[in-house]
Structure 1
Amino acid sequence: MLHKTRGIVLHTLPYGDKYLIVAIYTELFGRVGYLITPARRGKVGVAQALLMPLSLLELEVEHRNDRDLQRIREARSLSLPTALQTHPVKNAEALFLSEILYRVIREKESDPPLFHFLFDAVRHLETADAGIANFHLTFLFRLAVYLGIRPNRETYVEGRYFDLLEGIFTEEVPLHGRYLNADDSRVMARLTKMTFANMSLFAFSHTERSAILGHVLDFYRLHLPGFPELKSLEVLRALFE
């Protein structure tokens, strides 16, 4: 049976000499693996230019519950042409965030609020012209809401420590040792106020941004079992040096 759905490209993996397996987060079916024949001269297939990290697609797909890999009949780009590919910072952030999404989103069922958040966030990255260096931090904080691990900003008072295990700010130093000092906790509290609309108003040094990204990833790692080391992290950090 054929279905039309929107999708966001998360990951592409070669499969043999002729095929690709592409992980796409779809509006109708959640995360789906598609077996794709790349388009070649004179042959029908899906153009690899459509399969860049975080590409937004309109798809006509076959979907059968009795198979693990589905098929794409037609694919059309919904992304702005080359918006993420030609801008070095946006390209690095797309690579980094698509790797995170590939690791943390496993559900093979529809989740409209999460899909709409992701779709709108990618669209914002495509069109943003200010605050781009803060985009990945804003994204990770907003994504945490949909993953059910949002830090509790309401518990912050100046001088408190952020408890990475409990996700709250506390007066006492946690005995388990997984916490941020008062200065880093203050930065964490600031970041919880960031949105895509106001992210250009937040100024951080490279050292601050790199440190807080490490803390956010530690927070993810503590709350999402199996969260790995990320290959694209060093590329992103090097870009901001």
Structure 2
Amino acid sequence: MLSKTRGIVLHSIPYNDKYSIIYMYTEAFGRASYLVARNRGKKSTVSKALFMPLSVLEMEVEHLNKRDLHRIKETKICYPLTALFCNPVKNVLALFLSEVLFRVVKDTEPDARLFGFLYESIQMLEYSEEGVANFHLVFLLRLLYYLGIYPNADSHNQGYYFDMLNGVFIDSIPVHRHYLNREESLVFARLLKISFENMSLFTFSRKDRVRIIERILEYYRLHLPEFPEIKSFSVLQSLFD
């Protein structure tokens, strides 16, 4: 049975000499995997060149409930991502964020709110000109909301510590080691107010920005036990060196 859906490319790996597996987050099916030929004729309706990280596609697909790998019959881009693929900074951000999404978005049930957030965020990354250095901070923090592990920002008070294990600000050092000191907690509380609209107003040193990302990834790892080391993080760090 053929269905139409929009999908966001998360990752691709070789399957054999002829095919690649494309992992996507789709509007109609949640996370899904598709088998795509590496080399296709000129008349093909599926071009592998479309499947770059964070590409947003309109597709006609064949889904069978008992099949792990599905087929794409036709596809086209929803909107061109010229800056995302040509701008070195945005390209590295796309690689980093697509790897994070590949690791955390596992649900095979559709989630319209999550898809809408991803769709609009990718558009924002493509067209933003100011505050791009903070884009991934906003994205990573807002994604926590859709994963159901967003911190309790209302619990913050001056001088409190952020308990990373429980996702709340508290007035004393917790009995475990997963917490932010007072200075870090103040920065984190401020960071929870960041958005795509105001991200250009937030300034951080290169050292502080890398440290912030490390702490956010640590928070992911604490609340998502299968969250691994993000390989593209080292590439991202090089942007701030």
Q: Is 1:227 matched with 2:227?
A: yes
Q: Distance in 1 between matches of 2:129 and 2:80?
A: 14
Say whether 1:183 aligns with 2:197: no
Q: Deviations over 1:148-206 (max 9, x none)?
A: 11011101112111101010111100011110111111111111001111111101111
- Residue identity opposite 1:183 in structure 2: E
Q: In structure 2, what is the equivalent of residue 213 of structure 1?
A: 213
Task: For 1:186, give the aligned amino acid.
Answer: L
1:192 and 2:192 correspond: yes
Q: Which runs of 4+ in 1 moved over 6 A?
A: none
Q: C-alpha displacement at 1:79, in angstroms?
A: 3.0
- The separation in 2 between residues aligned to 1:200 and 1:185, in whole angstroms, is 21
Aligned twin of 2:124: 124
Conserved in 1, the CA contact under 8 Å of 2:13 and 2:20? yes
Which residue type is aligned with residue 6 of structure 2? R
Q: TM-score, normalised by structure 2?
A: 0.97
RMSD of the TM alignment (CA)?
A: 1.1
Between 53-62 and 39-48, the greater mean CA deviation after superposition: 39-48
Q: In structure 1, list runs of 5 or more residues that go unmatched.
A: none
Is the Cα contact below 8 Å between 1:7 and 1:27 reproduced in 2? yes
Kept in 1: contact 2:160–2:185 (CA 8 A): yes
Query: Quick one: which amino acid aligns to residue 194 of structure 1?
Result: I
SS of 2:84's equivalent in the other structure is coil
1:151 and 2:151 matched: yes
Structure 1 residue aligned with 2:203: 203
Q: Describe how 1:161-172 pairs up with structure 2 within 5 A.
A: 161-172=161-172
1:138 corresponds to 2:138: yes
Q: Structure 2: state its 5+ residue gaps.
A: none
Report sequence identity in percent: 54
3-state SS of paired residue (1:158): coil
Deviation, 1:20, is: 0.6
Q: What is the TM-score with the length of structure 1 in the denominator? A: 0.97
Whether 2:111 is the aligned partner of 1:99: answer no
- Deviation digits for residues 43-97 of structure 1 (CA, Å, limit 9, x no counterpart): 6363222111000100010111021100000010113242211011111111001
The residue identity in structure 2 corresponding to 1:82 is T
- The aligned residue for residue 18 of structure 1 is 18
d(CA) in 1 for partners of 2:62, 2:171: 55
Question: Which residue of the partner structure matches residue 66 of structure 1?
Answer: 66
- Amino acid in the other structure paired with 2:107: E
Letter in 2 for 1:125: L
Q: Secondary structure at the match of 2:86?
A: coil
Aligned residues: 241
SS in 1 for 2:83: coil
**Alpha-carbon distance in structure 2 between the residues aligned to 1:139 and 1:42:** 37
Q: CA deviation at 1:42?
A: 4.0
